[in-house]
């Protein structure tokens, strides 16, 4: 009979572990649908970016209040989950508070510290819920946030509050059982927060208290495991994706656009500037730009999964601020939605990318990408260095070079650049005529 709880715990671990592993494998396959891209340079600089931006939350602190609240949740969630390690070991070994006899009074201090963090996490989550649902911060109520994205954000905050309450309730019931000298409940001393909750449970019998403590114990560990699976379907996947995403982020100047090497080489050949293998013309049938997710690089697809949907990019976008349909956040959400649809189709043995749909047109419109000013405000604003502009540029390249579908005003500008070496329709010889009057004066 004593082995039943341990076997049940192992079964729970295997159950959630299976779904988590399968989901991670699916996300990896989806990301690898993108074009190959080699990113292995400047490893020291990349590690520094990872430490400062992902671990250090550097870019979050451009907005102090949400940054502080986010830091409470971030630090609290990481440190409190150290206690989950003990819970897992207790579940596997059939022990209770395994670490307590080995560290003595420090154990009491540590759990008390975790409890203070739990209260701060609850406080931060409540404030975030108020900001989203009562104060209605504008960036949380754009059109792309209708329905599931808003529900998802609220659901995660509520789950975090419930998990913190569960662990405090578990500790409170545990301390009452310790005080009564019930077997199996190691005496640990008084915890700073849950000790104040002990009067709530004083009226219960020993059996009732054990039921409360065990229920809260199981609820917390099952909740953590279920949360780990759920976030892989949620915008909160950034909890994990922020770290590889910042490591592989772009280190060159944000305003620098990557030319298409094949086009550059073709132009060099036409101008007689270069010869040899490095200047070979584009291969037959090569596609320029991107129409669907498989035309984007794997890094752009990783960006889509890492998106936090915080809306800082959209709130800084000049096109969006002037009423245009472009929302950098929506670009990332649409890319992720297309990836998910393709991945689900492939998982079910369906047509995948050959389903008659594409990222451009069915998910993201030409009106959206044409509104972009290439200012990089979205890239600068993102707290985890996501680059929506890379996706926008690739989609625009496809429209211009594959469909010849750029706006007429753009085509006129392209023609002027080709013939006059400037966007304006006058010959190069007249370029400095405006300065002649200055010489006369």
Return the CATH number at 305: 1.10.1060
pLDDT at 189 over 90: no
- For 60-117, what is each residue's pLDDT tens digit? 888 888 889 898 888 887 777 778 888 898 899 888 888 888 888 899 999 999 999 9
pLDDT at 34: 94
What letters, b where the CB count within 10 A reaches 16 and e where it falls short, cover 138-157?
ebbebebbeeebeebbeebb
Residue 339 lies in a domain: yes
The answer to whether residues 266 and 374 belong to one domain is yes
Residue 248 lies in a domain: no
Please tell me whether residues 58 and 192 are part of one structural domain. yes
If asked whether residues 199 and 121 sit together in one domain, one would say: yes
**Does 229 lie in the same domain as 145?**
yes
Helices (H), ranges, 355-407: 359-362, 366-370, 377-381, 388-401
220-262 pLDDT per residue, tens: 899 989 999 999 999 889 989 999 999 999 888 777 787 777 7
On whether residue 133 sits in a domain, the answer given is yes
Q: Which of 203, 237, 271 is the last residue of a domain?
A: 237
Question: What pLDDT sits at residue 282?
Answer: 58
pLDDT value of position 395? 95
**Residue-level pLDDT at 424:** 81
Q: How much is the average pLDDT of 42-49?
A: 94
Do 212 and 319 share a structural domain? no
Q: Is 213 domain-assigned?
A: yes
| Rounded-to-integer distance, Cα 217 and Cα 9, Å | 11
Q: If you ran DSSP here, which 8-state letter would residue 283 be given?
A: P
Number of structural domains, the chain? 2
Q: Is residue 343 part of a domain?
A: yes
Give tens-digit pLDDT for 347-402: 888 888 999 999 999 999 999 999 999 999 999 999 999 999 999 999 999 998 88
The yes-or-no verdict on residue 147 having pLDDT over 70 is: yes
pLDDT: which is higher, 393 or 438: 393
Query: Which residues span the domain enclosing 99?
Result: 40-237
Residue 98 lies in a domain: yes
Residues 75 and 221 in one domain: yes
Same domain assignment for residues 225 and 283: no
Residue 203 lies in a domain: yes
Same domain as 270, residue 123: no
Residues 178 and 217 in one domain: yes
How does the average pLDDT of the chain come out, rounded?
89
Residue 3, domain member (yes or no): no
Query: Same structural domain for residues 213 and 172?
Result: yes
Judge whether 44 and 254 are in contact, CB under 8 Å: no
């Amino acid at each position: 009979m004593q082995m039943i709880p341990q076997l049940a715990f192992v079964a729970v671990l295997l159950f959630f572990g299976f779904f988590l592993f399968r989901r991670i494998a699916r996300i990896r396959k989806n990301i690898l649908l993108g074009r190959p891209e080699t990113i292995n340079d400047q490893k020291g600089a990349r590690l520094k970016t990872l430490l400062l931006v992902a671990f250090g939350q550097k870019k979050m602190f451009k907005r102090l209040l949400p940054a502080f609240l986010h830091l409470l949740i971030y630090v609290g969630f990481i440190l409190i989950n150290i206690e989950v390690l003990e819970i897992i070991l207790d579940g596997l070994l059939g022990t209770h508070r395994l670490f307590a006899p080995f560290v003595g009074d420090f154990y009491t201090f540590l759990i008390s510290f975790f409890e203070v963090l739990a209260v701060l996490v609850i406080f931060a989550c409540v404030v975030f819920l108020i900001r989203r649902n009562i104060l209605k911060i504008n960036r949380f109520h754009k059109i792309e946030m209708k329905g599931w994205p808003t529900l998802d954000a609220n659901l995660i905050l509520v789950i975090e509050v419930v998990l913190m309450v569960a662990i405090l309730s578990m500790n409170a019931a545990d301390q009452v059982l310790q005080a009564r000298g019930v077997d199996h409940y190691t005496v640990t001393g008084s915890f700073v927060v849950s000790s104040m909750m002990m009067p709530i449970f004083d009226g219960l019998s020993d059996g009732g208290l054990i039921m409360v403590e065990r229920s809260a114990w199981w609820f917390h560990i099952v909740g953590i495991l279920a949360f780990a699976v759920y976030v892989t379907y949620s915008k909160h996947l950034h909890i994990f994706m922020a770290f590889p995403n910042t490591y592989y982020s772009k280190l060159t100047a944000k305003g620098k656009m990557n030319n298409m090497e094949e086009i550059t080489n073709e132009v060099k050949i036409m101008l007689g500037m270069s010869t040899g293998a490095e200047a070979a013309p584009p291969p037959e049938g090569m596609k320029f730009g991107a129409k669907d997710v498989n035309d984007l690089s794997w890094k752009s697809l990783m960006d889509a999964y890492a998106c936090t949907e915080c809306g800082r990019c959209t709130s800084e976008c000049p096109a969006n601020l002037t009423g245009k349909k472009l929302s950098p956040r929506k670009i990332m959400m649409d890319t992720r939605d297309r990836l998910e649809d393709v991945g689900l189709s492939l998982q079910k043995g369906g047509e995948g990318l050959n389903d008659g749909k594409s990222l451009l047109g069915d998910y993201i419109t030409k009106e959206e990408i044409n509104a972009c000013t290439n200012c990089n405000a979205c890239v600068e604003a993102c707290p985890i260095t996501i680059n929506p502009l890379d996706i926008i540029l690739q989609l625009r390249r496809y429209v211009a070079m594959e469909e010849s579908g750029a706006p007429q005003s753009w085509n006129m500008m392209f023609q002027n650049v080709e013939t006059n070496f400037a966007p304006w329709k006058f010959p190069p010889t007249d370029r400095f005529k405006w300065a002649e009057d200055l010489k006369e004066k």
